[in-house]
Amino acid sequence: MTWYEIVLIVSAALFLFSTIGSLFFGEIDIDADLDIDADSGFLLGDIISFKGLLHFAIGFSLVLTLMQEVTVTSISFGVISGIVFVFVLYYLYKLVYEKLQQNMKYTNDIKEMEAEVYFWNENQKIGEVFVTLEGRPVTITLQGAEGLNLEKGQKIKVSGTRKSVAPVEFII
């Protein structure tokens, strides 16, 4: 077994391990933080990372394994192939990430939503309410007005943003 076949096996195994780990256990962050930024719209640190090194090693050693020889030509094709692997997989990761973020987008405005008063401070006219956002209960700050008297457990309709809401009407 040659050195480039060993590099191919090890790099492919590490790639599969990190991919399976990410799918089943969440993101496993083993990338080095190089703090290298480029003004061209992408982070050079995302390219020059552990994953980038794995992609380059897979592309480079795959070409050498397929050619079954180490010559200037095979090394040149291997380097080109490794660089192509790095950029193609970087843009593939970026595309998948953007698609996932699109599916998780939400609006910042809350328009007349039913809420339950969790806490109310009469002196400061501020409190907290429970609302259901995206299927989960969330506590949001409630800004009140003069003369407003709320009690814990009271149902009201609120309107505002994800950070702060104001009462719209009382529910009996």
Summarised one tens digit per residue, pLDDT across range 9-42 is 999 999 888 878 777 776 554 444 444 444 444 5
Give, for 121, the enclosing helix (H) or strand (E): strand 109-121
Residues β-bridged to residue 127: 120, 142
Over the stretch 72-128, which tens digit does the pLDDT of each residue have?
A: 999 999 999 999 999 898 888 888 877 766 655 555 667 788 888 888 887 777 888
Give the per-residue pLDDT at 43: 56
pLDDT tier at 153, thresholds 50, 70, 90 = confident
**In the chain, where are the structural domains located?**
3-103, 109-170
Q: Which residues contact 166 (CB under 8 A, 6 or more apart)?
A: 142, 143, 144, 145, 158, 159, 160
Please tell me which residue, 18 or 58, carries the higher pLDDT value: 58
Q: What is the CATH number of domain 109-170?
A: 2.40.50.140
